[in-house]
Amino acid sequence: MHLLLSGLTLAFVFCSAFLLAVDEEAEEPQVIILLGPPGSGKGTQAKRIAESLKIPHISTGDLFRENLKAGTPLGVKAKGYMESGKLVPDELVLDMLMDRVHKPDAKRGFLLDGFPRSIPQAEALKKHLGRLTPIVINLEVSDETVIKRIEGRLSCPNCGAIYNKYFSPSKSGKLCESCQGELNQRSDDRYEVVVERLKQYHNQTEPLIDFYSKDKILFSIPGERDPEVIYKEIMNKIRNR
């Protein structure tokens, strides 16, 4: 009897594993692109969406900041562009991005935050994705709100949590609520740099709204509301696609 039960259990485990494997293979990887001006809330929303869908959150800005911190040749090359609010040249961004999306954790899909940011970047991504169609979420926020939000932003250098001294301050004051890291302001969040970042956005990134609208894969979401309301609306768009 004991042997029979063990046999049945093994058969059940084997069948479930097989079904799971088949299921995973059948499932199409999900690619989500978050578009929007600086400070529109891409990072804030990306963290939650990626956690909920169990796919990696790939932020080109974060990848550059990690390289900068580690003093890699890529970080050294990107530094001047980032600190003046200019876009890092496409060839540097593309190599870094392609490396990241080929990592094993991105097999089931990924969420892109801050990429693509120009038509050549969007075309390179389209070529890379082949028959896979991404969903593009465009967060709409005015320039005035961007400036106010960025001026108040504080981030945790350890876990990446994002706060705002006006809209969502940390309950632990200058420390992160989750890991107690000391919150700091990004060096490219100075007023004159933000003005340049906005200029770059309007000239180079905004044309992507038309680029993706033509393929009918872009959904614009008003971004000047409660982050929770925005999150639910984005998740609805993703699930009902």
Residues that bind ligand AP5 (CB under 6 A): 36, 38-44, 59-61, 64, 81-82, 85-88, 93, 114-115, 117, 121, 149, 152-153, 162-164, 167-168, 188, 197, 227, 230
- State which residue, 64 or 212, has the beta carbon closest to ligand AP5: 64
Known binding-site positions for Zn(2+): 156, 159, 176, 179
Least separation in angstroms between CB 145 and ligand AP5: 8
Out of 47, 100, 149, 153, the active site residue is 153
Helices (H) and strands (E) in the chain, counts: 10, 7
Residue where the block lists tokens 């970042």: 197
Q: Are 155 and 170 in contact (CB under 8 A)?
A: no
- State which residue, 30 or 227, has the beta carbon closest to ligand AP5: 227
Least separation in angstroms between CB 140 and ligand AP5: 11
117 carries an active-site annotation: yes
Least separation in angstroms between CB 214 and ligand AP5: 21
Out of 47, 100, 149, 197, the active site residue is 197
Instruction: Using alpha carbons, list the distances in angstroms from residue 162 to 14, 152, 194, 224.
Output: 43, 11, 17, 17
SS3 readout for 131-196: CCCCEEEEEECCHHHHHHHHHHEEECCCCCCEEECCCECCCCCCECCCCCCECECCHHHCHHHHHH
Torsion angle defined by CA atoms of residues 107, 208, 49 and 68, in that order, rounded to the nearest 10 degrees: 80
Give burial (CB, 10 Å; 0-12/13-18/19+) of 81.
Answer: middle
Nearest-CB residue for ligand AP5: 61
Known binding-site positions: 39-44, 60, 65, 86-88, 114-117, 121, 153, 156, 159, 162-163, 176, 179, 186, 197, 225
Out of 42, 47, 100, 149, the active site residue is 42
Out of 108, 186, 190, 237, the active site residue is 186
165 carries an active-site annotation: no
Q: How far apart are the first and last CA of the chain?
A: 49
186 carries an active-site annotation: yes
149 carries an active-site annotation: no
Least separation in angstroms between CB 27 and ligand AP5: 27
Please identify every residue annotated as catalytic: 42, 117, 153, 186, 197
